[in-house]
A and B are shown apart, each in its own frame.
Chain A
Amino acid sequence: MTEINIVKDAVKKHGRKRESLMPVLQEIVKQENYLSEERLMEIAKEFDLSSAEVYGVATFYSFLPVKPMGENVIKVCQTIVCDMKGKEAVLDAIKDKLNIVPGQTSADGKFSLMAVNCIGQCSNAPAMLVNDKPYINLTYENVVKIIDEYQS
C-alpha cells in the first residue's frame, strides 16, 4: 500500500503532464535511490505512457539508475582534469575502504560508486560528489576521512 503512494505522491506534487516525468523520476530516485521495475510500471500507468517509453527516458540519464544503489552514492569525476590530477588515488582509497570499483555497491549496501563525467570542479581537481555534495582537492587520505564520516 505504502509502495504505491510514493509514485502517487510524486505525481500529486509534480503533476502528470509529460513535462513532469523527469521531476517524478528524480523524486523517486531521491527517495529510493533507484527506479525499480515496479516503480517504472506505476509511473507509466500514472502518465498513461508505455513502460518502454518511461524506461527509455530513465536509462538515457546517468543519474536515474534502474539498478539498486547504496544508501550513499559516490560519483567520482573521471574527466580529463580530474584524471590528470589524481582520480586514481581517489578510486584507490574507495577500493581500499569499501572494496568497490565503479559500478559496484558495497556489501553492506551503504555505498555505491559511479565514475561520472565532468562535475564542474576542475579548478579543484580531483573531485567527487557524495550524494549531491561536492568534495574537492581530494587525496587518498582525505577520501578515507570522508568515507569514515559517512560510515559513522
Chain B
Amino acid sequence: MVIDIKEKERKVNSHKKRVNLIFKEHDIDKLIEKVLKTEPEKIIDEIKDSGLRGRGGAGFPTWIKLKGAREAKSDIKYVVCNADEGEPGTFKDREIIEKKAEKILAGMMAVAKAIGAKEGIIYLRAEYNYLIDGLQKKIDVFNKKLEDMKFDFTVFIKSGSGAYVCGEETSLLESLEGKRGEARNKPPYPAQEGYLGKPTVINNVETLVYAALIMLDGAECFKKLGTMSSKGAKVFSVSGDTDIPGIYEIEMGMTLKEFAELFGDSNTKAVQVGGASGFCVPRSKFEETVIGFEGVPTGGSMMLFSDKRSMYNILHNYLEFFVEESCGQCTPCRVGCQQLLKGIESIKAKEKSKKYIDELLELAKNMKITAKCGLGQSVCNPFISIVENFREEIVY
C-alpha cells in the first residue's frame, strides 16, 4: 500500500503535463523591480498575450478587467484579491497563501500599476483566519519595500465571516462594504463601479500569482502551456477517493481519463470537476472530457468518487450546501434550491413518482437562466450532470 502511494506520486510528478510555476522559488525583488519598470499598457498587453483567464472558476479573461479599470476615470481605484476560497473541494489558495504570499502581493502590485490603484485588499475567508498573522507579516514587509521604492500602493487584509456566496465578486464587494453579501446586478461591472463605487479589479489568488509570473518571465512561459482556449497551467485540489490527495499544478487540457489514471483507480466511478457547483463526469465520459474551458472548467476542485459512493448522497449533500449558502435575495435560487432538495427526498421516499425528476430538471434549467448570480445559476451543473448520468441511483 505504501509502495503504491509512492509509485502513484512518482507517476504524477513525472507526468509530462505536471509543471511547477506557482510554488517554484522566484526572486521576488527582481519581480517587483520588473513591475516597477513596466509601463501600465505593457502589463495589460503582456497579460492579454499570455491568454490568462481567471483561476477562481469563472474564467473571465484577466486583461479585460484590467483594461476596463484602467480606462475608467477615477482618482481612486482598488485591487482586490479574492481569497474567499469556499468551493467544496478547493484548497489550493490556502496553500498558495501559506507558501507563496509574496507572489500574490507582487501580482496585486502589477494589477495596481496597470490600472493606477493605490490600495489593495485581500478578502480572506474566515475559515483561514489562522493564516492572518503569517500573512500580515509578509504584507508588512512588502508594504515597507514598496514605500522605500516610492511606489504608492498599500495592501491590507479584510476577513470574511463564513458565507460561500461572498466568493462571487459583487457579493464580495458588498461584504467589504459592511453589508450582507448579496450579489449586485451587472452592469455596472466592478471594473467600472466596484468597491465603494470606484473602479476595482478583483482577481483570484492563483490568477494574481500567474500574472506576477507572466510579468517576470513574459507571456511565453505561460501561453506555451495548455490548449487553444485554455492557456497555461492550473493548480488542482485533488480530494475524495484517491490515495494521493493534495495540490498539483498541471497543464491545462488533460483528459479526465489521464487524470483518473493518475489519481484514481479502476474503481473510480465519477469525478466532480469544479466543486459542488461544477460538473459530475461519469467514468464512461472520462476519455472524451477535457479539463479546461473547452470541456469542463474548474476553479481547481477535483473530487473523485469510487464505486462505493451513493450518488444520491452526494447530490443530497450538495443541495443541502446550496440551500444553506443561497443568500436568499432572488426567488429562483432561494426557492429553487429548497425545492430541488425536497424533490429528490420526496422521490426517494416514494411520495412523488419517478417522473417527477424531469420536473426538477426543468426547474434546475430555469434557475440557470433566471437566478441573479453565479451561485443560483450553477446549481443546475451538478444537478443535471448527476441526474442525467446516474438517474437510477437518484430515483430508486
Chain B residues in 8 Å Cβ range of A17: 178
The yes or no answer to A144 lying at the interface (CB within 8 A) is no
The yes or no answer to A61 lying at the interface (CB within 8 A) is yes
Q: A115 CA to B52 CA in the complex, in Å?
A: 37
B158 near A84 with CB under 8 A, answer no
Contact of A56 among B161, B163, B180, B241 (CB under 8 A): B180
A22 near B128 with CB under 8 A, answer no
Chain A minimum-CB-distance residue to B314: A80
Q: A20 CA to B130 CA in the complex, in Å?
A: 21
Contact of A118 among B88, B93, B126, B240 (CB under 8 A): B88
Contact of A22 among B90, B130, B161, B276 (CB under 8 A): B161
**A51-62 interface mask toward B, CB cutoff 8 Å, 1 = contact, 0 = none?**
000001100111
The yes or no answer to A83 lying at the interface (CB within 8 A) is yes
A92-100, A104-112, A129-137: which one contacts chain B? A129-137
Q: A81-B89, A122-B239 are in contact. Are A117 and B177 (CB under 8 A)?
A: no
The yes or no answer to A149 lying at the interface (CB within 8 A) is no
B178 near A84 with CB under 8 A, answer no
Chain A residues in 8 Å Cβ range of B61: none
Chain A residues in 8 Å Cβ range of B82: none
Contact of B89 among A21, A62, A80, A133 (CB under 8 A): A80
B325 near A117 with CB under 8 A, answer yes
The yes or no answer to B162 lying at the interface (CB within 8 A) is yes
Chain B residues in 8 Å Cβ range of A118: 86-90, 127, 164, 321
Chain A residues in 8 Å Cβ range of B164: 117-118
Within 8 A of A (CB), among B21-43: none
Q: A134 CA to B91 CA in the complex, in Å?
A: 13
Chain B residues in 8 Å Cβ range of A25: 161
Chain B residues in 8 Å Cβ range of A84: 240-241, 305, 309
Chain A residues in 8 Å Cβ range of B305: 84
Min distance, Cβ A17 to any Cβ of chain B, angstroms: 8
The yes or no answer to B327 lying at the interface (CB within 8 A) is yes
Q: A23 CA to B321 CA in the complex, in Å?
A: 26
B276 near A123 with CB under 8 A, answer no
The yes or no answer to B312 lying at the interface (CB within 8 A) is no
A60 near B181 with CB under 8 A, answer yes
A81 near B179 with CB under 8 A, answer no
The yes or no answer to A121 lying at the interface (CB within 8 A) is yes
Q: A61-B163, A125-B239 are in contact. Are A19 and B318 (CB under 8 A)?
A: no
Chain B minimum-CB-distance residue to A114: B162
A62 near B162 with CB under 8 A, answer yes
**B217-258 interface mask toward A, CB cutoff 8 Å, 1 = contact, 0 = none?**
000000000000000000001111100011100000000000
Q: A131 CA to B89 CA in the complex, in Å?
A: 22
Min distance, Cβ B312 to any Cβ of chain A, angstroms: 13
The yes or no answer to A120 lying at the interface (CB within 8 A) is yes
The yes or no answer to B129 lying at the interface (CB within 8 A) is yes
The yes or no answer to A26 lying at the interface (CB within 8 A) is yes
A81 near B127 with CB under 8 A, answer no
Chain A residues in 8 Å Cβ range of B245: 122-124
Q: A26 CA to B125 CA in the complex, in Å?
A: 13
Q: A82 CA to B382 CA in the complex, in Å?
A: 18
B176 near A19 with CB under 8 A, answer yes
The yes or no answer to A64 lying at the interface (CB within 8 A) is yes
Chain A residues in 8 Å Cβ range of B86: 117-118, 120
Q: A57-B178, A80-B303, A122-B237 are in contact. Are A116 and B89 (CB under 8 A)?
A: no
The yes or no answer to B196 lying at the interface (CB within 8 A) is yes
B175 near A22 with CB under 8 A, answer yes
B181 near A18 with CB under 8 A, answer no
Q: A15 CA to B129 CA in the complex, in Å?
A: 21
Q: A80 CA to B312 CA in the complex, in Å?
A: 12
Chain A residues in 8 Å Cβ range of B94: 120
A79 near B303 with CB under 8 A, answer no
Query: Contacts A79-B88, A79-B321, A122-B88 given; 17 further ones with Cβ under 8 A?
Result: A21-B178, A22-B176, A61-B160, A61-B163, A63-B126, A79-B317, A80-B89, A80-B314, A81-B89, A81-B240, A117-B164, A118-B321, A120-B86, A120-B91, A120-B94, A122-B245, A132-B129
Chain B residues near A (Cβ < 8 Å): 85-91, 93-94, 125-130, 158-164, 175-182, 196, 237-241, 245-247, 272, 276, 303, 305, 309, 313-314, 317-318, 320-321, 324-325, 327
Interchain Cβ contacts under 8 Å between A and B, 8 examples = A25-B161, A78-B317, A80-B89, A83-B313, A117-B164, A117-B325, A118-B88, A122-B245
- Closest 7 pairs between A and B when the two form their complex, measured CB to CB: A21-B178, A61-B161, A63-B162, A123-B245, A122-B239, A62-B162, A60-B180
